[in-house]
Amino acid sequence: MQVVAQNLDDILAGLQPLTVDWQDDISRRVIAEIEAMPVKKVYTLNDVRILLDKDFDDALLICRLFLGLSKDTFAGALRDALSGAPAGVTSYRADQPKFMDALLRLGILEAMAEQTNRVPRWSDILVERLRSGRGSAISGQKRGRGVEDFAEAIVRKVFDDQFVARCTFTGPRGKTAKCDFAIPAKADARILIESKGYGATGSKMTDIIGDIEKIIAAKRPDTAFLFFTDSPQEQRSPLPRSECGDHRG
């Protein structure tokens, strides 16, 4: 076996960036479909129906692109427009008029007309890159802080100033964990509240579960724990107690 001695400079000099193509088969199909779409001043639901009947999943992605919504936000908004029904191909086939009406209420026809008739400018590309990159992160941060502020207003109304916001509390066994609100104090909290905005930065389900598990592991067994969140449709209403994650023991 040949032994090759390397130093850090040799390793760094041999490193190369990994260049990958951002397009996959779905992207290529969607791009081809978009480029083949006729430009009209006014679109009808039949134009959308043709897309859905051709390839349902690709058509939903195209609708989402026209509306400028993320996957999670679009799915939530569509479910809401369908009165809570699943926003999949089964729902479309079971009640096509209801499904089309849901897309109509989301503004799909206006969005299609606006985007296809937009006069392009060179700055549009840079603005879109800014929106999808930095803008997406800022939006998530604002949404997360907005939910925290909404929850804090309720906490302040109920408990006046007898709480500590955005702190690290200490449990009976010396364990610590971060939470948004500790009532009345972080040293001997009787109520702990954690708030998360749907789609906000760091609010993926695995992150939420991990944060909740840390709080439950650190808190006193008789300390109430409440979890507060909003909905994908920007509804800001408190959840029923059974949905707030009240945990004892």
Q: Per-residue pLDDT tens for 186-202?
A: 888 999 999 887 655 44
Domain identity same for 231 and 160: yes
pLDDT given at position 162: 94
pLDDT given at position 223: 93
Residue 240, preceding bond cis, omega within 30 degrees?
Answer: no
* Range(s) of the domain holding residue 151: 137-243
The answer to the question of residue 249 being in a domain is no
Nearest CA to 151 out of 208, 212, 228 is that of 228
What are the backbone angles phi and psi of residue 238, rounded to the nearest 5°?
-65, 145
pLDDT given at position 15: 78
Domain identity same for 26 and 91: yes
- Choosing from 54, 85, 118, the residue where a domain stops is 118
pLDDT given at position 41: 94
Evaluate whether 59 touches 96 at the Cβ level (below 8 Å): no
Structural domains in the chain (count):
2
pLDDT given at position 146: 85
Domain identity same for 156 and 110: no
The answer to the question of residue 124 being in a domain is no
What are the backbone angles phi and psi of residue 134, rounded to the nearest 5°?
-65, -40
In this structure, the strands spanning 191-196 and 224-229 are parallel
pLDDT given at position 238: 38
Domain identity same for 74 and 155: no
- Choosing from 118, 149, 178, the residue where a domain stops is 118
Domain identity same for 109 and 142: no
Domain identity same for 165 and 69: no
Compute the distance between CA of residue 111 and CA of residue 99 in angstroms, rounded to an integer: 17
Domain identity same for 49 and 78: yes
The answer to the question of residue 9 being in a domain is no
pLDDT given at position 4: 72
Domain identity same for 30 and 59: yes
The answer to the question of residue 145 being in a domain is yes
Evaluate whether 113 touches 43 at the Cβ level (below 8 Å): yes
pLDDT given at position 199: 57
The answer to the question of residue 223 being in a domain is yes
Domain identity same for 232 and 148: yes
The answer to the question of residue 248 being in a domain is no
For residue 149, how many C-alpha atoms fall within 13 Å in the half-sphere facing its CB?
6
Cα→Cα distances 22→33, 36, 68, 224, Å: 18, 21, 19, 47
Domain identity same for 141 and 86: no
Residue partners of 81: CB distance under 8 A and separation at least 6: 101, 102, 103, 105, 106
Domain identity same for 141 and 229: yes
Look-up of token digits 């609100």: 181
The answer to the question of residue 196 being in a domain is yes
Look-up of token digits 């008029």: 97
Average confidence score pLDDT of the chain = 85
- Choosing from 118, 151, 174, the residue where a domain stops is 118
Compute the distance between CA of residue 222 and CA of residue 41 in angstroms, rounded to an integer: 63
CA 156, chain centre distance (Å): 27
Domain identity same for 114 and 176: no
- pLDDT lower than 50: segments of the chain: 201-203, 233-249
Residue partners of 62: CB distance under 8 A and separation at least 6: 30, 33, 34, 51
The answer to the question of residue 123 being in a domain is no
Report helix angle 96-105 to 108-116, nearest 10.
60
